[in-house]
Structure 1
């Protein structure tokens, strides 16, 4: 099973069916907090919904199309992070992440995304890593900004969030930029 060490307290592990209860509980406990920026909360109301997501994630991993992982912090599952899509033709990894409300503000996700970015370049040999976040989602946008990703633009009304559209800011970093900027992070 895929694992990726972040530091002595944090690691990523490929999501598995035995994680369903913990992931569903984390989702349920942070439902209102997460709902502000994530469009799937109303479709994740039962443990079975989380199991379906995990099965979809395992299939994506097995087919080399995605790589969704649980974030384990001090032996607790605190969120999900990985590559929502792996574009092997164009060598682009699309990072996605979310974390339970109670674990925010400790720098966990910044460290996780840094390690994922390293992995995309060093192990997958990709050329580009991209992160998209709602323009108004300042916490999510702060992560690529801290890591030296470049703001490349904005796509308008690209995501439907329950009763309105939101614009997305698009951040990207290239392999040759990451190597140069690595010592500055």
Structure 2
């Protein structure tokens, strides 16, 4: 395995799902994760009661942020200090995609 991908959260009340991914450095640059995320987004809209999918990325991680941009997500917000791991704090860029944008 060279990475992981999944739906981190599916909220049937607000009809929102969140996609998360990680790819080993040696596997980058080949479009693997972009193709995998594209497939997962299609499956999520087809099989889950969601109207919106979000991807959260670190603002400095340009490779990670390039994936939702390539797939037609909209860069909606920067959540300041939204990630706290141990004593490390980081911002998060929120990317959003609506069902009608995907199907259109």
TM tier, shorter chain?
A: over 0.9
Alpha-carbon shift at residue 122 of structure 1 (Å): 1.4
Equivalent residues, number:
104
Whole-Å separation in 1 of the counterparts to 2:28 and 2:52: 27
Name the SS of the counterpart of 1:89 in structure 2.
Answer: coil
Alpha-carbon shift at residue 121 of structure 1 (Å): 0.8
CA contact (8 A) 2:3 2:21 kept: yes
1:171 and 2:95 aligned: yes
Residue 22 (structure 2) aligned to one of 89, 98, 107: 98
Whole-Å separation in 2 of the counterparts to 1:154 and 1:81: 22
Superposition map of 1:18-97 within 5 A: 77-97=1-21
| Cross-structure match for 2:52 | 128
**Cα deviation digits, residues 58-77 of structure 1 (max 9, x gap):** xxxxxxxxxxxxxxxxxxx1
| Cross-structure match for 2:73 | 149
Name the SS of the counterpart of 2:2 in structure 1.
Answer: strand
Unaligned runs of 5+ in 1: 1-76, 181-185
> Structure 1 length normalisation: TM-score?
0.54
**Cα deviation digits, residues 41-99 of structure 1 (max 9, x gap):** xxxxxxxxxxxxxxxxxxxxxxxxxxxxxxxxxxxx11110111111111111000001
Greater RCO, CA 8 A, separation 6+:
2
Alpha-carbon shift at residue 162 of structure 1 (Å): 5.1
**Cα deviation digits, residues 101-133 of structure 1 (max 9, x gap):** 211111000001111111111121410100001
Question: Structure 1 stretches (4+) deviating beyond 4 angstroms?
Answer: none
Name the SS of the counterpart of 1:151 in structure 2.
Answer: strand
Q: Would you tell me which structure has more strand in proportion to its own residues? A: 2
